[in-house]
Structure 1
């Protein structure tokens, strides 16, 4: 498969394409998976999300990537490095969002850890952040497992989020 950005022991992270709409809809149409987002997304909003991601690839060379099972090729979710504004500064964030059916398998931690290494080694970033909702315990645990610590709390997207960060 082309467009592979990185691989781990169990996962393949590849660039998103417009063909991924139906796969992403599994997550975006699930109210539980989208609990910490403003709302679920319909197909049109999912296409907008893909276009936003493709724009990030073009502009920054990074974005959210599709995460697939290395053995089966099954869609698991998305994880990647995304530019986010925090207090007027553009920071690079590791973001992750997985299908509910695969929660609890450590995929988010494995993918986020690979993205952290990619950010430091390939992109030569000095700092990487993550912005989980303060109430999203599973996501805060992923940030902590990959070595991040809470720097501060901010209001973003109309809610309180923790700014987790790690320095190279």
Structure 2
């Protein structure tokens, strides 16, 4: 078991590794969970996602982390801090994606809040954003619950997304 990057009341956030393919496939193979992504992902695309994440760890010291139930070790989803291009600059985004079977239990908000605190306290970010699809109300609500406000709407990934942000 790898060392947690962040620990909350109910959750452990740990670094992703190549053995997480099966975990991530619980989300990536689910059309409902992937509704606001271009498509579901197969195993090869999931490995590419893991490689991209490992690259972020190496380059930025952050990335998406695997979220597990603290008591049972059950895989719940992923949440973390990822670099995103917004209007020609790089912003640090809190991203989250959880298995549908655990939706509605507050895990995304708890994990996102922990990532916000980590971003401000540990890596001294001045500003953190979130980029939910304009139609993804649950994701937008998570951003709002951790104190973010809508800054603007941009066109990214071939669709309109809100830019939520919070500054330290």
**Shorter-chain TM-score tier:** over 0.9
Find the aligned partners of 2:162 and 2:16 in 1 and give their Cα distance: 27
Find the aligned partners of 2:93 and 2:158 in 1 and give their Cα distance: 18
2:95 is aligned to 95
Pair 1:128 & 2:128 matched: yes
User: What count of residue pairs does the alignment treat as equivalent?
Assistant: 168
Pair 1:154 & 2:154 matched: yes
TM, length-normalised to structure 2: 0.99
Deviations 1:11-51 (A, max 9, x none): 00000000000000000000000000000000000000000
Find the aligned partners of 2:31 and 2:69 in 1 and give their Cα distance: 24
Give the gaps of 5 or more residues in structure 2.
none
**C-alpha displacement of 1:3:** 3.3
Structure 1 stretches of at least 4 aligned residues deviating more than 4 Å after TM superposition: none
1:22 is aligned to 22
Give the gaps of 5 or more residues in structure 1.
none
Pair 1:61 & 2:61 matched: yes
Root-mean-square deviation (Å): 0.4
**C-alpha displacement of 1:2:** 2.3
Find the aligned partners of 1:16 and 1:67 in 2 and give their Cα distance: 9
Find the aligned partners of 1:5 and 1:83 in 2 and give their Cα distance: 18
Pair 1:76 & 2:76 matched: yes
TM, length-normalised to structure 1: 0.99
Find the aligned partners of 1:2 and 1:11 in 2 and give their Cα distance: 14
